[in-house]
Structure 1
Amino acid sequence: MKRILSNRFIPLKYKLMASYFVFSLLPVIVVGSISYNASVKAIQQQTENNLQGTLIQIRENIVYKQEDVKRLSEQLYKDYNLQIKLLRLKEGWSSYETTTNYLIPTLESIMKMNRYNVLLEVYISNEAIPEVYGNRDPDIDHVNDPNRFDLLHFSRLDNTLWYKNLQIPVTTFGYDYVWEQVDTDARFNQFSLIRRWIDFNSGKNIGLFRTVVNISDLLDVVDHNKIGAESSLFVYDDSGKQLKYSSNSSGNSGDGVTLRSLKNIAKNDQYLRLEEEIPDLNWKLVALIPNSILLEKSKIVKQITIIVCLISASLLFVMGIFISRYFSSRVNRIVKSMNAVRSGDFNQRIEFHSKDEFAQIANAFNRMGKDIDRLIEEVYVANLQKKEAELEALQSQINPHFLYNTLSSISRLAQFGEMDKLHQMVMGLAKFYRLTLNEGRTIINVSNELEQVQTYMEIQKIKYRERLEVIYDFEPEVHKYTTIKLILQPFVENVLIHAWYGDHIGIKVAANRENGMIVFRIIDNGVGIDKNTLDQITNRNGVQVGYGIRNVDERIKLQYGGNYGVTLYSRPGIGTTVQITIPEIATGLESKFIV
């Protein structure tokens, strides 16, 4: 012992620990440096992508406002009954009555539904229709007049300079429009959407729509805070004129900055310049962002990288001590097998031919893996059976109470001797229940579900006749997918029970593919749902309102998961939109879907 001490004997485990630590520390430093540089570049790129995405969202909000303005004239453009009246009317009492009882109320109704202050000028070729307008002093801004519209004769435009210079592209029906700054628009900082009014049958020009909107209303979403507190946002028209500037800089230092100046500012590497073009208007949305925003998160990454490297070095030191003391091939085999089980491979087994403690550990490990695999299988099957039972219970709760109403309608048709309609309703009812029963299957083709709701609406059309208007908009691709049955009929039935607005109701049923999902929409123009009732419908713990809606929502969530279901959008006096989302599952693959 004295000899060993005098020669300063160093045990092998300490040499292993020292060499392990040295060779582990160097990779940590190298990997940390590479990771830091890569992370900084990735964060800068991600930040730039996020900022670009935010700029795109601002642009899309502006486009949405454009579409709102466009929809104002589109409601008149697509009113076929109004076209017929305007083309057939002659001078006299009928033109006055139509103007008073149909045209003016229609214009008033459309203007009341508009969310922005606009001026709608409707120019009509048929001069048998009397003009309706208010004060037309060109020195007064009439856009801010509430619900302002003017009904004018087309001949007023004959000597108008702005109309003579106007160039509206001639395309298919509904797309003959142009955004221009005409007449007094420039003086009052406004813009006009101008579109032709074309006869659907002859293709002849009926008139012209001009919708005037404040530029400030179109650009009120342009806010630099959405990009960053120190950023600046600019909007320029197609001539390079600045329309809006948003920044937290003191004063108006950005007002009047030209588009070319922004390009020069961005060249000095102190700013990032992003740009998006606003369609139709040919405006440019430009963001000027200090590079300090991009580098701000890089400082945090640097600190985190240093901390992680220090922690990694400490852990490696501890692991070196552990490995140097307990290095063993059998231990490595056990660790490897345990890691495999941790990853979900419960078929992993360890075999030792010795009769020591390692053999006992191996036997216990093998029994544990076998038991865990069996228990997981039992729990999975039990949960699956439970969800299937819950789904069937919810399915059985659907109340087809329209059967009573349909039989009553059949009885009335028989009393009045309307045998053809009686036959149609009986055949429709038989077809509806054939599709509903569907041989007891819960999962059906989307085409069957759409056919079932169409059959239901055909029965209701016989009952309500011209009071009910139905539009279908089905994307052909959706027919090759599957769905759970009876998710559309309860909602169209709700519309017919609760949504009547006067003696007429319009319903649109649509089915589309969006982002890997099948999206159904039931849209009506009925009375709508007030916020209090809407909250009660969506509140599962409150007052039990909207049972049918929640029934469909729960059936979808049980079958496909919580990311799918029913969403309601409604405004009193305007109507309601029901959106139903399910995943895209092709026919023949529904059995592979994991609940």
Structure 2
Amino acid sequence: MGYKASAEEHKFIPFGYKLMISYLVLTLIHVLVFGYFANWIFVDSARKKTSDNVQAALSQMKDNIRFKMMDTVRLSDMMYYDDTIAARLRQYQQGWYSYESTTQYLVPKFNSVLKSTNRRTSLVVYLRNETLPEIYNHYNDSDPLTYAGKSYDLYHLKRIEDRKWYLEFPAETYGETMVWQQVERDTEFGNISLLRRIIDTAKSKSTMDIGFMRLTVKLSDLFETVSPDFGEGTSVRIETGSGQVLFERGTAPASASGQKAKEADFLTIREPFGDMDWQLITSIPKAWVEKDARKVKLLTAGIGSVSFLVFVCVGICLSGYFSRRVSRIVMVLDSFRNGDFRKRIRFKGRDEFSTISESINDMVQHIDTLIQQVYVTRLKKKEAELESLQAQINPHFLYNTLSSISLLAKFGHVEQLHQMVSNLALFYRLSLNEGRTIIPVANELEQAKAYLDIQKAKYTDRLDVLFEVDPDMLKYEMVKLILQPFLENVLKHAWCGDRVHIRITGQKIGDDLEFRVIDDGVGMTVDTLRRLHADDEDHEKAGYGIRNVRQRIQLHYGKGYGVRIHSRLGIGTSVTLRLPCVDRRAPYVDKVIAIENDYR
């Protein structure tokens, strides 16, 4: 208590804490400055890397699209550069020549064009030569690409001469002029067409068209490699120079405040198609772009935190060197105050703390020796009380036993007389036990059996006894003579009528042994139970025999062990004895099994 009072009177911040606080402040400043600049460098690098990766992905998508577009251009080249088709289309002869041109040249050519690709492609050809017949299919308002690869359409050019898209078609440059455009019902069906003239190749570098071709493909086929694989919320779209969106995938950026809000929330990256006015545009949420930056921030924060923790640990080790020694001394002194004198203080080196620890250790060792001496004295006193108890019990017990022996001899019951004398001799031999206080569990049970055998000779069939003991208990030892006093109490106070049943049980519960003496006698009142459970030093209230057994158990094993009594008037009494498991050397299994068999 003196130490606590002193600590409360002198409240101050120890020098070790002051040193530690200043050290941590300086360390934290350096870690924050380093972390800030490192994070700035890493984040900028991560953002640039992300943008480069997206740009490279868009370029790859563009190349894939151009490859598929060039495949369609290749199909148009099969007719654009075919001199045979041009020669047939220049001849305006009817009859057999027109029929032959159509069946022998045009139709096979159109079929070969459709079969030279595995993509869905629709072919429509418009001819100025009206001597050739029109050949076309009825699609019933359905998508012509439903029949792609199986059919084609052949019309006269006059059908489209008034169409806006034909009138606005650019001037011809040989081998170069072609337009990708959504015409007719392409927008409705999700298609796009390659538009191109058919030129009269007989004239060098002629721009005079003799026909017009239209190759239609699915937008989904042409742009199937366009995928917003850049994270959640991204979108990719194809826009023309006029702002028309040909194709789009992903979540389109939407904002109530218009384009400014979109630019603020999204990173837009564009990839032009070069010779075309198309653009491949991706809109990526800046939150996704900053994903790697956030990882860098977390990594920087983690490294900074770990570094700071390392510095904290070093600071604690340095500033807490002396305070830990003082804490160890205080901790050991607290344990001494709580009654634990086993701890000692050990410091390496030769300094003031080592001198203090040696002095405290010597003082505690001396105090522990004195306590042990007092403990041994009290233990011997209790053993003397036990001997006194036995001295009081044995003469009366011996007198009653000798009277029973006399009666047996008088009536000539030689066998019973022999058995009683043997049990009496066994009982006293076990009671003496060569002066030892601690005996095997089997010996205690054997002594209780010998006592009950003697009593059965007196009470005959009026006394029933049953032993139920776990054999695992036989490898332990216990304080002697703790069951017999309770058996004697049953025979002295528990009779209810002319019969009484006694059951002795034993079992191992965790690291403890539990014995129970149970009878079906008259039981006890609440006042009697309260008196028996009274404080050990209250001789007038607590029974002497019960108090003696309880004190002996607690002296040997501590306050956590002892005797508890449960009883109900008219039903019976149960006495529970709790002891710790203490190993012994000699086995006594056979002996106790024999005891159980005798009473079953």
Could you tell me the TM-score, scaled by structure 1's length? 0.41
Could you tell me the TM-score, scaled by structure 2's length? 0.41
Which structure has the greater CA radius of gyration?
2
